[in-house]
């Protein structure tokens, strides 16, 4: 078995991070589950082994790791380089919207570009005045009800509840183990009174109510795309990635059901990633608003309630084209 023993001359946090960065670069790893480069990934993992915070300071760089911590580095390097475990699963934590989330192999590692939109209060797509205009703050300030469909770790639901202090958020997933993680995160962020984890196959077990915002990062990856993904993705639950109907299975269900669940002045925000082109091909007349993000990422669109009503027949009709899809 290949062992990754730290060279004796590498003693400090700094030395070991530099050595691990080079090791990562030589070993053909994929970065994209919380970091996008070897140095950040090395810093994250070695800080974890050294019991330092992920945002350690320059003062920590000279810290000399104990023998136990050096052994932990060896074990972690095996997990990361040989097993191809993403760093988030090794450490049990991921960062989204500036918040820390507990994660495990039952949930996708949070990375949706929707975080940026939440930070902007869904502006200008949602007419939000609540906390921007505190003098008019009242119980009626919207959004009051938000649905995070396909919540996984609960990251999007929790980020929404963090910015919209008046809102109750339903966080829906079909996976009980994923919802256990979501519930850990809901408690961690003191949101048990406003974020409600619901086990449901899409809308099936949902109460009949109207949401001001329906937001979703559902599975949207086709089988042929999954087959080509780096090993790190194959450590994530396939039920969090794969979608039938050319990646559109879940997005189309949301578009169809939004007619019944969206408030009159609400919006729907859905991430479909690389399946964006297929969606636009199937609905060439529908003016999806495709969002651009400063911090990268694409394949996220917005539709408002008027459009959801206007195009409902087309969304329903797509089932007749299922053979094509
Ligand atoms: C792409 S992950 C998104 C997780 C989270 N929203 C995020 O951004 O990290 C998709 C989630 O959809 C859930 N899911 C798959 N099929 C579902 C269904 N039929 N109904 C509800 N949730 C489903 C999976 O369990 C998974 O947690």
Helix H, strand E, coil C: the string for 35-53 is: CCCHHHHHHHHHHHHCCCC
- pLDDT under 50 in the chain at which residues? none
Show the ligand 1 pocket: residues with CB < 6 angstroms.
107-108, 110, 112, 150-153, 155-156, 172-175, 178, 201-202, 217-219, 239-240
Question: Residue 316: its pLDDT value, please?
Answer: 93
Q: Where in the chain is the domain with CATH 3.40.50.150?
A: 106-321
Torsional sign, CA 232, 237, 240, 245: positive
**Structure letter (DSSP) for residue 7:** P
Task: Give the Cα separation of 49 and 291 in Å (integer).
Answer: 38
Q: For the CA atoms of the chain, what is the radius of gyration?
A: 22
Summarize the chain as % helix, strand, coil (round to 5).
Answer: 40, 15, 40
Question: Ligand 1: which residue has its CA nearest to atom 2?
Answer: 240
DSSP structure string for 133-178: SGGG--TTPSP-EEEEES-TTTHHHHHHHHH-TT-EEEEEES-HHH
Cα–Cα distance for residue pair 125/217, rounded to 1 Å = 18
Ligand 1, atom 19: nearest CA belongs to which residue? Answer: 201
* C-alpha 280 to ligand 1 mean position (Å): 22
- Peptide bond before residue 169 is cis, with ω within 30 degrees of 0: no
Q: Please tell me the pTM assigned to this model.
A: 0.95
What pLDDT is stored for residue 128 in this prediction? Answer: 82
106-321 sits in which CATH class?
alpha beta
pLDDT at 117: 97
Nearest residue by C-alpha to atom 13 in ligand 1: 150
Q: Could you tell me the distance, in angstroms and rounded to a whole number, from the CA of residue 130 to the centre of ligand 1?
A: 29
Question: What confidence score (pLDDT) does residue 315 get?
Answer: 95
Ligand 1 pocket: which of 33, 221, 240 to mutate (most atoms within 8 A of CB): 240
- Predicted confidence at residue 3, as pLDDT, reads 82
User: What is the DSSP-derived secondary structure letter of residue 108?
Assistant: P
| Residue 22, token pair as written in the block | 């080079």
What pLDDT shows up at residue 321? 54
């Amino acid at each position: 078995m290949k062992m990754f023993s730290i060279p004796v001359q590498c003693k400090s946090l700094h030395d070991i991070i530099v050595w691990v960065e080079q090791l990562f670069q030589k070993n053909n790893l994929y970065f994209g589950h919380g970091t996008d480069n070897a140095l950040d990934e090395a810093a994250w993992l070695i800080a974890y082994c050294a019991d330092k915070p992920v945002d350690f300071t320059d003062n920590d760089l000279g810290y000399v790791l104990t023998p136990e911590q050096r052994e932990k580095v060896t074990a972690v390097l095996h997990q990361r380089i040989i097993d191809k475990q993403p760093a988030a699963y090794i450490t049990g934590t991921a960062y989204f919207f500036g918040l820390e989330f507990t994660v495990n192999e039952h949930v996708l590692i949070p990375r949706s570009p929707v975080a940026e939109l939440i930070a902007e209060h869904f502006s200008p797509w949602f007419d939000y005045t609540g906390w921007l205009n505190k003098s008019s703050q009242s119980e009626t300030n919207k959004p009051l009800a938000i649905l995070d469909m396909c919540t996984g770790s609960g990251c999007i639901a929790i980020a929404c509840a963090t910015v919209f202090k008046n809102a109750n958020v339903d966080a829906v997933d079909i996976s009980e183990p994923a919802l256990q993680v979501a519930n850990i995160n809901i408690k961690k962020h003191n949101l048990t009174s406003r974020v409600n984890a619901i086990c449901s196959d899409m809308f099936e077990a949902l109460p009949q109510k109207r949401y001001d915002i329906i937001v979703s990062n559902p599975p949207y990856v086709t089988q042929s795309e999954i087959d080509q993904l780096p090993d790190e993705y194959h450590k994530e639950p396939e039920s969090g990635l794969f979608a039938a109907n050319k990646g559109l299975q879940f997005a189309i269900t949301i578009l169809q059901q939004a007619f019944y669940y969206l408030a009159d002045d609400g919006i729907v925000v859905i991430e479909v990633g690389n399946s964006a082109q297929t969606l636009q091909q199937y609905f060439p007349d529908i003016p999806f608003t495709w969002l651009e993000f400063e911090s990268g990422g694409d394949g996220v669109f917005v539709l408002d309630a008027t459009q959801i009503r206007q195009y409902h027949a087309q969304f329903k009709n797509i089932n007749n084209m299922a053979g094509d899809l």
